[in-house]
Chains A and B, each alone.
Chain A
Amino acid sequence: GAGVSQSPSNKVTEKGKDVELRCDPISGHTALYWYRQSLGQGLEFLIYFQGNSAPDKSGLPSDRFSAERTGGSVSTLTIQRTQQEDSAVYLCASSFGLFTDTQYFGPGTRLTVL
């Protein structure tokens, strides 16, 4: 079946603009995760969803970041008033269940803030 998909694959924006990143998880996966990978760094966990609920938003870097998930499927990560330090690859992953299952990653969105 289809894997996790993300769009756009690349996004270039100007400082101060808002951006929306989209993640389509594997069908039937109830858990969805967002990560950020800055150049040369490991993955930084941002937020997870169990169904449409995000119980813990403390991983989001600032209040300019928000995420939502509707219908237990597609998720959107929104960054408002982008800054240059937001430049990174944003990876989404999904898993069948939150407690036991391996996460499968999408190809990521490369965000460049000029």
Chain B
Amino acid sequence: AQTVTQSQPEMSVQEAETVTLSCTYDTSESNYYLFWYKQPPSRQMILVIRQEAYKQQNATENRFSVNFQKAAKSFSLKISDSQLGDTAMYFCAVRDNYGQNFVFGPGTRLSVLP
């Protein structure tokens, strides 16, 4: 079974500052994928970033980057130059290679303050 833990229910950051959201997971799979999804008040789930576990290089997408520590089973999300539009719930998720087990964490509510 796969599990995902997000230990920060809520966080806030000043506009233009940097914030890191934590995620730890557990899986028995040798190959898997990790994701961060953003869910603004509109409820639409938006993919922020994705990481293949077999890749050592940390994924980056513009202002979003991850710190993937495979041995520690840690997958944190760093948001640089935070913008008001980044305010949302952020979900960390792990999915096995076959797509049949897709488990989400409970989410972290991020507020970007002007």
Contact = CB atoms under 8 A, between A and B. Distances in A.
A42 interface: yes
B104 A108 contact: no
A54 B103 CA distance: 18
Contacts of B37: 105
Size category, B interface? 20 to 34
A108 B41 CA distance: 12
Size category, A interface? 20 to 34
A41 B45 contact: no
Contact of A108 (B43, B97, B103): B43
Contacts of A41: 106-107
Interface string A102-113: 111111101000
A100 B46 CA distance: 18
Q: Give the residue among B42, B98, B102 with the most A Cβ atoms within 10 A.
A: B102
A108 to B, nearest CB: 5
Nearest to A41: B106
Contact of A102 (B4, B35, B43, B106): B35
Contact of B102 (A45, A104, A108, A110): A45
Interface of A: 31, 33, 35, 40-43, 45, 48, 56, 89, 91, 93, 95, 98-100, 102-108, 110
13 contacts: A41-B106, A41-B107, A42-B104, A43-B91, A45-B102, A45-B103, A91-B45, A93-B45, A100-B99, A102-B47, A103-B102, A105-B37, A107-B43
